[in-house]
Amino acid sequence: MDLTGKIALVTGSGQGIGRDTALELAKHGANIVVADMNLEAAEKVRREVEVLGRKAIACQVNVADKEDVTKMMDATLEAFGDLDILVNNAGITRDAMMHKMTEEHFDQVIQVHMKGTFLCMQAAALHMRKKEKGKIINISSISGKIGNMGQVNYAGAKAGIVAMTKVAARESARYQINVNAIQPGFIDSEMTRAMPEEIRQSRIHEIPLQRAGQPKDIANAVIFLASEYSNYITGTVIEVAGGRSM
């Protein structure tokens, strides 16, 4: 899955799944735009990419802000002259049971996940249509399929990303742009490691493969969808959840 010379933009890539995805894309030959709200974290990942022998830039971006997204796209094209791969990974959680969730926390999650995905897809597609090529990969969540308690905002947004992916795939197919989504399951991360151990173990017990996923498991799926091996795949959702929702 050779991505040599490809330009990949990964949002929310200062840590976690986004960081592993950016590094894995670089290992397969791509040059990287590391985009994150936290510029210091983005710069750190940029340096990690450069150690791998690839070119990289770091961008501070709020994906829910159109002006920020436009600046990010302009910086990408100024630095590299092209964009081949977009990974919409940026996200936040504001968990609470539905009767306790504030309107502010509901809106924040919808803005980052749904509006952010829309704005980044829109900006990327406007460029990709001219070139008649491109791969867009949206990170949804298994929560958007099965619904997790305390995540009416997050699960709703992640389900919405699946629908947006299918619409974008239909609209972009004539321009040879592939648009697909990935639904991660229970992934080993700072957030999940902060759970009480009994709850963490009960979640793992629900997984047929009997382990939490690793960020690299998601990154591997991104590599496939970003490569020529997926050229005849669009509008699909790949679950990377260890069989949890079978």
Q: Would you please indicate which residues are annotated as catalytic (active-site) residues?
A: 154
| Count of beta carbons in the 10 Å neighbourhood of residue 159 | 18
Q: Which helix (H) or strand (E) holds 16?
A: helix 16-27
Task: Give the rounded distance of the alpha carbon of 144 from its chain centre.
Answer: 14
The residue type of 67 is E
Q: Which two tokens stand for residue 195?
A: 């759970």
Give the orientation angle of helix 103-110 with respect to helix 152-172, to 10 degrees.
Answer: 30
Q: Which two tokens stand for residue 205?
A: 């017990």
Task: Give the rounded distance of the alpha carbon of 109 from its chain centre.
Answer: 15
